[in-house]
Each structure stands twice: as structure tokens, then as C-alpha cells.
Structure 1
Amino acid sequence: MFMTKEPENEKINNPRATVRLPMLLGITLAAGVLIGATFFGGGKSLNNIGRGYSKFKEVLQLIENNYVDSVNTEELVDYSISKMLEKLDPHTTYMNPQDAVAARTQLEGGFDGIGVEFNIYKDTVYVVTPMAGGPSEHAGILSGDKIIKVDNTEMTGSKLDNALVFKMLRGKKGTEVKLAILRKGEKKPLTFTVRRDRIPTYSVDASYMIDDKTGYIKVNRFSETTYDEFKKALALLKEQGMSQLLLDLRNNPGGYMDKATSLADEFISGDKLLVYTDGKDDRYDRQTKARIAGQFEDGPLIVLVDEGSASASEIVAGALQDHDRALIVGRRSFGKGLVQMPVTLSDGSELRLTISRYYTPSGRSIQKPYTAGHGEDYEKELEARSKNGEYYVADSIKNNEKYKFKTTGGRPVFGAGGITPDVFVPRDTMFMTKYLIQLFNKNIVREQAMEYANDHRKQLEKDGFASYKKSFVITDAMLKRLTDDATAQGIKFNEAEFKRSKKYIQTQLKAYIAQNVWRKSHRDGLNNEFFEMLSENDETYRKALTLFPQARNLERGSYTSQK
């Protein structure tokens, strides 16, 4: 969702993936603050609110005192609020205190815990890697360790899930947790006492040089630390000779508006408009303009987007597109252009109330159409794009001429439905099979990669990543071991589907092996080796690398549209 935290510090946030939009992965939510009663306005509206409140209170008291069965009135209140908000737009939402706390942590700069990346495999918690410099690494936890007990709670069995692992491993900084560990080569469990600490989270996934002039940066969300991470990454790439940049915002669901506009400001010169908002109450109407001398205001720039790019990501892409500063490549973005005010209620629950719309510099609202009270239709819009062929054929994107605008250089752009890319790249789904989905649901690919990395770590580290990237091959023997393991886990082998997915499985295995071996060398959270390996089978990435001449022409004002 696009959200404001304080009037002078606007923020954006994305749709609720797990509740509202299951097709969006890893959706994040912004932090809220207490807003006083004056937020709700004057006398007439207060009278209306008062009458409605009295009626609701009366009904609730009748249920509590007279209903035939015992009821949980708190659950009834939460349900009533949620149902009431369904009559509004799709992004006005309510969360109970527990969900509100969990959601806010997504965009904070870190959390308190023991600092491990874990994987659940065969109903067991495996340590993928202890985070560099974190409590677990200091305590001696190793990649491949099995966590079988946390304090007095067993961490095995069919009831094991991510929620339980988070509950047991996270906790207040300074508190201790006792782990029972099974380690390869040890006959008996080992016991470790780990003191929880603040674990930083990162939003820049990768930052590396593709060649001697082309840089690549991937941003997964816009959190508290995003702009600082991005500035550091950009500066380091420039030191390495970068003269053109590929910025990857695919599957970035949004986050804080001020971080998004600050990032855009690194590319846009002068005091050009970046975004503006407009609502019923003019207190929430404001303009955000470029204000600094950015690090990369000159040079070809390409931005990757797709249907998972929402909210703050669309702010960045829209500003750069409207000012003809970047070539937008990929597929049409999500289409989230509503602004929410987060209101923390007295019990810690949170209301996120839509208060305005935001517009790109050309005047576009990129909010896709919706009908109040018809949330199910809104949720199915991404599915409808797939059925209409939009993910596969550029001409399937149907922009409404009514919402046609022009960029600074006179190019046509469209609103009311996300950011339409300048160059369309279809989604590749040929590799997607039921067999592949089962492999990932059981975490078999990641587990096989971790086992191989642990068994061959010394040799791989000795050879170095450059050699690994150029020469390492996922052999048929390695794939046979994977499919045998899958069969043992109850996944019936399907030869035809395996052949369709084989290249993708090989790419994923090679990427995860690289991640297991080299990620710990990055103390700034970067996962460069993983994304470098994925890029070998990434059609959008590969296509974008051929488009820098067009990006250069766009920057010079001589761009000719190409599909």
C-alpha cells in the first residue's frame, strides 16, 4: 500500500499479498503511528459517527448479554470492521494487533533474533547459513545443522512451519535461547546457547558489474534502509567504471515513499517533479520534487518491472519514464496508486485508510480500475491478465486512450492500470510443471544445493566464483540424486515434465550452490552470486542488455519506440 506516516513524511506501501493478493509474493507493509481524534474532522461527521457507534454498541451489548451461546466479542468486532471496510477501496484495511506488529517488521531495518537463514525439509529445520557477524555465527552454528529443539520445544514433525520457527528463534535483544543441534559427523546432539541480537535486514539483493561498463542493482522493497543501501551500491559500481545501469524492480511490492523518491532523485536532475498526491482533504495534497545532485543523472538507464512491481516501485518507474530518463522493460506493473494513512488504535491494532491518490509527473494515476465492495474481482485481476494473454503477447495490453498522457519528450504513456513498459518481454512459463512445483514445495532443490555446497565447499572456494560461473556444470548424476530424493519424499517422477523443467532446475541448483558457498562473504546482505547465476536463464535480463543503445537514444531525446 501507498501510505503516509506523518504529513511531512509520506510513505507508500503495497497490497496485502497473503490476504488480498496471493499472486504477489513477499508483499510488505509500512509502519503506523497514532493519529489524534482531530484527524476525523468536524461536527456534522462526528454526529453521524456518534449515531453509528451507538447503534453498533447497542447490538454488541445485546449479543454479549442475551445471545444463546458464548461468543468472543473481540472477534466479532474485528470481523465487523473488516466487513465494513470491504465496502471501500481494495487497499483500506484493518489488522489485529498481532498482524500489525508482524506487518510493520517487514519494512523495519532489522529484527531481534539469532540470525540464521533456515529451510524446512523433511519436517526438520535446516540451517541454510548463519548470517555473517550474527549471534549464530559467533556461537558456532554451521550451514547444514539441523535444529531439533529450541529451549523445550521440539522442532520436528508435521506441525512444524515457518510461523513456529519465527516464534521460537526471534525474541528480545539480549535474551538467550538454547538450541539442540544435530550435525553431520556427530553421533549425539550438540547444545548451543545463543544470545539474541539485532539482525539487520537488507533490501538491495544484488549489486555487481555485468561487464566493464554495465552495472546491475536489484531492490526487493523500499524499507527504512533502502536508500542508504542503494547509494552505497551505486557509488561502488561507479568506482568500478559503471557508465550504464540496469535497475531491477521486478516483484518489488513497494514500501516507503520517501525512500522511493530519494532513489529516483539519484537519476533525475534539477527540481523536476517526481510525484504528487491529491485527496478530498487538501492536508494530504503535496508535491515531491528532485532536490539533490544525484550520482547517476547522466548515462543510459534501464528499469525492469513486471506485474509484481507495485506502489513505490511504480513511483520510481513512473517518474523515470515520464521524464524520459529510463527505458522501462518487462511487463505491465501492478497498478497501485492509492495513498493510505496508518492509524494505530488503542489496542495496538491498525487501520490503513485511503486518503488520496498519487500521480506521476505527467499527471497519470496508475491505479487500476476497481469497484468498491467487489474485492474478489480486484484480487483476480492479475489472473485475468494471464487469461487474456497479456503476459505473453504485447498487443494484449489494452490501454484506454482516455488515460493517455505524454512524457517530457512527447512520448505517449498511459494511466489507470500500472506502468506499461516501453519494451515488452513475455513471461517464460514453458519450464513450469507440476513436478517442478512439487520439488519446490518440498524444498528439495535448495536442500540438494546446500548438501552439495557443504560437501565441496573447500574446493569451490579454492577455485573461486569466476571459475565456478564459467565452468561448473550441473551433471546428470547430480540431477539423478535430486530426483531420487524427490521420489523418496513421495513425489512421483514424471519424465516428460522433468525434461521441460530440466534447464530451470539446473539453473536454480547452480544459483543456490553459489549462494551457499559465497553469500557469507558479503556483510552487507548482498546475494550477488545467486542472482548472477539466475541471470543466465532470465530472458528479461538478457533482452535488457541488448537495449542500452535505445536507452542512450532516449536520454538524448531521439528514442524510437520498439517492441
Structure 2
Amino acid sequence: MDNNPKNSVFQVRLPIIIALALSFGVLIGANSFKASPNNAQQTAKGYLKFRDILSYIDRDYVDTVNVEELTDFAIAKMLEKLDPHTSYIPASEISIARSYLEGNFDGIGIEFNVFRDTVYVVAPLSGGPSETVGIQAGDKIVKVNGENIAGVGITTQKVLEKLRGTKGSKVQLSILRKAQTKPMNFVVTRHKIPSHSVDVSYMLDKQTGYIKIARFANNTYAEFKEALSKLKKSGMQRLVLDLRGNPGGYMDRATKIADEFISGNKKIVYTDGKGTKYDSDTYAKVKGEFEEGKLVVLIDEGSASASEILAGALQDNDRALIVGRRSFGKGLVQMPISLNDGSELRLTISRYYTPSGRSIQKSYKKGTEEYGNDILNRYKKGEFFHQDSIRFDDSLKYKTINGRIVYGGGGIMPDVFVSRDTSDVTNYLNQLFAKNLVRKFAVNYFQDHRKEFEKMPFEDYKTSFLVSDKMLQGIIKEASSLKIVYKEKEFERSKDLLKNHIKAYIARSAYGSEGFYTIFQERDRELKQALQSFGRAGLLEKNYVQAHSVPE
């Protein structure tokens, strides 16, 4: 166990996990919204008070103020008095927020990374407009439409704003490429870019399929169906469904996927809100493509909302074995409400419950800050390393459809616990990740050896390519230039893990997502445990089929 949680790889990624979970959660379609008749008078008084104060400030305050910024700030502070997931998204940020879930956007089709104020192309998306004009992995974007973006404190948000635009519009890019002495200019026509939410799907062996879902967006169900069909044609008899790090999204996409695994008309999820307006019950209703067959679901502390709906439905119906660590614990449903100025309110309108009656929502009574620190507190208490450090109240005990004990009140607890492995994690390694050094090195290495990789089949790369000591010295040299002090003991401790990441990221540029995950998962102890758990999953599936078989 690492004694310095502040410096773990998990901590480097923690803000991303929490931000995604808090921002995207479970969403349902927006409907018209009206104030409660019981509070109409109080609502009117509050509105008039806010209007008067804003008017006085705008008219009489000693300095000129930005009224729109004041309004956005006031709204954000007001929502802090509610729950951690009700949120307000200003009009200036709404397009990027929506594109995460809408499944596609208009852009130039690249995966990029910002390193030392420089925008690196990690990979052009296959078939996208950037690949079409010849942009390559490893290229540095230094100008967009003649405006310098290198060395000016550029952020990912600013890059997205400059590269995305209306379909058919053109953007001029100035590119620096290795072996080229002068910048290269490309004109890229923006086009609709698919945003995939099923990261990868492939066969782990002759009988085992693997599907990783990154979030539940517009296209997720269609992508999942396509992946499932492909794997079945490849001979899949059992499946690992990976929901680790999945922050949620649209609830109905998660329930449709659950329906592909659950037979008959058994309950998947239900919601309960104020009154009955937002109450709902969702049942299985279609003949799914994988209602029989061993199923293991991977979850962790980054699995939230719709991920928990899917995992909870499969667990409560005794359809899947859940492997990993306790999930995030978000059991609130948000309704997106478009406002007149183009901004959006995502308002919590109900709680969701798993089929056994469990609420997955963890407590937020101690405030937003304490709520946001929950994952870190779990780490400090040792929950990521010891299952017996987790305590559930007996009053929150429930039973699955076949009588197994499960608990509510704070995420989905897996059937098979897997501790986090920090044995190879050091402060030195964390600094390399924090500075994006590993990914940058891999992209540059691929670019320098592109012709070699084009001739090398992936299976040959997987079995024969080795990350050499010379390559590692290159990383160390680059780190030193960034004032990262070399520590030999820490480096030796992290060496094998570092090699794995370098090889995986090179594979990402050379062979795509499947290449990346195939290499990366060689050190994935949670996936290895999932594969070892198919025996238990088989017993669960056998009892499930016997108890819930229905006539054709």
C-alpha cells in the first residue's frame, strides 16, 4: 500500500473522475417546467428581490459590472444549497457540455494532447477530415487560422473552441512535423465527427468477449448492439462488460443495455420524485441478444449514475457477477432544462432505485466540499485496499431476486472485491504522468518509426516489441529538462509499469484503441480477476436461468 495518497496515479486522475461524475450523471429528456403551486407566492417574492438587487447594482454601483457574469455566479451559488448534481451551464459552455453526450459534433477529427503549451496530435480519427488531408500522429499544431496557439498558455478548452465549428466551414492549421524544417499548412473542412462511447470491443480469447463503455451518450446503445453482434459472430460465449470510470449519462441507454441481458419482464430500475410526475418503472421488454451466457461486470469508484443503474439491475436480478470496487454512489436523476439565453439548468427531479429497492445515492448532508472529497476519504481509510474497511448499515440491507444480500446507501458493492495495486506507483512516475511525458514520448517514437510499424502486424508487435533502456533514458532526459528530479529507487520500482504504458501508447498510435487496450491490460489485475471469476458467474447464471426461464 502506498503511504503517500497525494502522489498516486489515482490522485492525478481524481479531478477528472469527480468532474465527470458530477457534471454528467444520469439525465432524462427535458419537459416544460412550472413552479409548484404551493410555493408560487414565495417564488414570486424571491424573483422580485433578485431582480431589484441586480437592477440597483447595474444602475448605481460605483464601478461598471458584467451583469451576465454576476447572474451566472448568483445562480451557481444558489444551486449549492441543493444537491451536488443540480448544476447550471452557461451558454458559452453548453455546446461542449452537450457534445459529450450527443454522440457527435462538428470538428476536424483529431485526438490531441496539450504538452508544455504545445498541441500534439495523438491520432487523427480514422476517416475524419484531418486524416484525409494528411495530418499525422505526432504533428504539432502551432497556429489556427493564423493565430498562434503554441507557448501562450493554451488549454484543452480553448483548443476545442478553435477547432470545432459549423459543418462545412474551413480551418487553416499550421503544423510542425519532425524532419520538416518549415511549418506545413493544411486547410481542413470541418465535418460531423462521431464521438464513440464504446471505447473498444474485442475477443480476449476464443470464447471471451470484452466491451468497454466510457459513458452513456446518444449513440451508446447502437454502438453496444453493434459490438455485441460482432463478438457473437466471433464465437463469444461469455462476456466482460467494463464500466470502470464511466460517469453515467442518459438513463434510457443504460436500461436498454440491461434489457439485452435480462429476460422476461423483470424490473430494471424505478424512480421516485416529488409527487408522481417524475415517477417511473422500467422493465425488461425485448428478447435480448445475450440473455444467457456468463457475464462479469467491472466497476470502480469512477463508475457513477447510469453505470450504477446497469450494474445494480444486473446484480439485483442475479444476472451478472460484479467485480471491482465500490462505485461512486450517485442515485439522483437530472432533467436538462434549456433557458432563454442558451444556457441550461440540470435539475434533480427524482431518485432512482435498483430492482430490490436500493438507493445508491451516498449522503451529501455535510455539504458539497465533503461530498467531493468522498473518493479521497475512501482512499485514506484504506477502502481501496481492504474490503473489510467498508461498513454498511444493516437497515440498508436488501435481497436480490434469488435471495443474495446486497446493500444500499452508497454505491454498488461488488460481489468480488479487487484491491487497487499501487506497488509500482511512485512519486517519480506520477510526475511523468502529470506532465504528459509518457504519452508525448510514445507519439514521437511512433512518428520516428512509422514505416517500421506499418510493416509490423500487431501480433508481432505484441510478442516481440520491447521498450529498451535507451527509450527509458530518453524519458529520463526529457523529465530532467522539466526539472523532475531523477530518483533511481523509484524509477526501478516503476520501471515495468512505465514500460507497459509506453508500449500501450505506441500501440494506440500504430494500431488504434484495440491495440492500446490489449497491451495496457497485460497489467490489469481487475480484468484478470474478472476472468478468474467466470466460475462463480457460471453458478449465478445457471441459477438465474433455472429460476427465470420463460417459454418461447
- What range describes the TM-score normalised by the shorter chain of this pair? over 0.9
TM-score (norm 1): 0.91
**Secondary structure class of the residue paired with 1:297:** coil
Of residues 97, 115, 119 in structure 2, which corresponds to 1:125?
A: 119
Letter of the 1:212 partner, please give it.
K
Q: How does 1:389-408 map to 2 (within 5 A)?
A: 389-408=382-401
Of residues 543, 549, 559 in structure 1, which corresponds to 2:529?
A: 543
Q: CA deviation at 1:34?
A: 6.4
* Structure 2 CA distance for partners of 1:466 and 1:170, relative to 1, 3 Å: same
Letter of the 2:236 partner, please give it.
M
Residue 62 (structure 2) aligns with: 68
Of residues 433, 440, 443 in structure 2, which corresponds to 1:447?
A: 440
Q: CA deviation at 1:227?
A: 0.6
Residue 252 (structure 2) aligns with: 258
Letter of the 2:41 partner, please give it.
N
CA distance in 2, matches of 1:475, 1:253: 36
Of residues 138, 148, 152 in structure 2, which corresponds to 1:144?
A: 138
Q: How does 1:23-422 map to 2 (within 5 A)?
A: 23-24=17-18, 26-27=20-21, 29=24, 35-37=31-33, 39-42=34-37, 44-371=38-365, 374-422=367-415
Q: Does 1:469 align with 2:462?
A: yes
Q: CA deviation at 1:555?
A: 1.1
Residue 528 (structure 1) aligns with: 514
**Would you say the 8 A contact 2:247–2:307 is kept in 1?**
yes
CA distance in 2, matches of 1:149, 1:136: 15
CA distance in 2, matches of 1:61, 1:458: 66
**Would you say the 8 A contact 1:34–1:345 is kept in 2?**
no
**Would you say the 8 A contact 1:450–1:516 is kept in 2?**
yes
Residue 11 (structure 1) aligns with: none
Identity rate, percent? 52
* Structure 2 CA distance for partners of 1:539 and 1:32, relative to 1, 3 Å: closer
Q: CA deviation at 1:88?
A: 1.3
Q: CA deviation at 1:129?
A: 1.6
Q: CA deviation at 1:513?
A: 0.9
CA distance in 2, matches of 1:119, 1:558: 46
Residue 494 (structure 1) aligns with: 487
Any idea what the Cα deviations from partners look like across 1:476-506, whole Å, max 9, x if unmatched? 1211111112212332211122122212111
* Structure 2 CA distance for partners of 1:555 and 1:282, relative to 1, 3 Å: same
CA distance in 2, matches of 1:352, 1:467: 49
* Structure 2 CA distance for partners of 1:92 and 1:26, relative to 1, 3 Å: closer
Any idea what the Cα deviations from partners look like across 1:297-352, whole Å, max 9, x if unmatched? 01110000000000000000000000110000000000000111221111112212
Letter of the 2:172 partner, please give it.
K
CA distance in 1, matches of 2:332, 2:269: 13
Any idea what the Cα deviations from partners look like across 1:511-530, whole Å, max 9, x if unmatched? 011111111xxxxxxx1111
CA distance in 1, matches of 2:230, 2:104: 23
**Would you say the 8 A contact 1:33–1:344 is kept in 2?**
no
Any idea what the Cα deviations from partners look like across 1:61-81, whole Å, max 9, x if unmatched? 222233333332222222222
CA distance in 1, matches of 2:263, 2:84: 35
Residue 518 (structure 1) aligns with: 511
Of residues 449, 459, 463 in structure 1, which corresponds to 2:452?
A: 459
Size of the aligned set, in residue pairs, is 532
**Secondary structure class of the residue paired with 1:101:** helix
CA distance in 1, matches of 2:30, 2:261: 34
CA distance in 2, matches of 1:91, 1:330: 25
**Would you say the 8 A contact 2:335–2:348 is kept in 1?**
yes
**Secondary structure class of the residue paired with 1:357:** strand
Residue 554 (structure 1) aligns with: 540
Q: CA deviation at 1:536?
A: 0.6
* Structure 2 CA distance for partners of 1:242 and 1:183, relative to 1, 3 Å: same
CA distance in 2, matches of 1:21, 1:480: 30
Residue 4 (structure 1) aligns with: none
**Secondary structure class of the residue paired with 1:371:** coil
**Secondary structure class of the residue paired with 2:527:** helix
**Would you say the 8 A contact 2:429–2:491 is kept in 1?**
yes
Residue 426 (structure 1) aligns with: 419
TM-score (norm 2): 0.92
Q: Which has the higher helix share?
A: 2
CA distance in 2, matches of 1:22, 1:165: 18
Q: CA deviation at 1:556?
A: 1.6
Q: CA deviation at 1:141?
A: 1.3
Of residues 430, 434, 438 in structure 1, which corresponds to 2:431?
A: 438
**Secondary structure class of the residue paired with 1:485:** helix
Moved more, 165-174 or 184-193: 184-193
**Secondary structure class of the residue paired with 1:36:** coil
Moved more, 22-31 or 345-354: 22-31
Q: CA deviation at 1:32?
A: 8.3
Any idea what the Cα deviations from partners look like across 1:263-298, whole Å, max 9, x if unmatched? 111100011100000111201111111111111101
Moved more, 282-291 or 165-174: 165-174
**Would you say the 8 A contact 2:17–2:247 is kept in 1?**
no
CA distance in 2, matches of 1:141, 1:354: 43
Q: CA deviation at 1:35?
A: 4.5
**Secondary structure class of the residue paired with 1:58:** helix
* Structure 2 CA distance for partners of 1:451 and 1:75, relative to 1, 3 Å: closer
Letter of the 1:534 partner, please give it.
F
Moved more, 290-299 or 123-132: 123-132
CA distance in 1, matches of 2:422, 2:514: 25
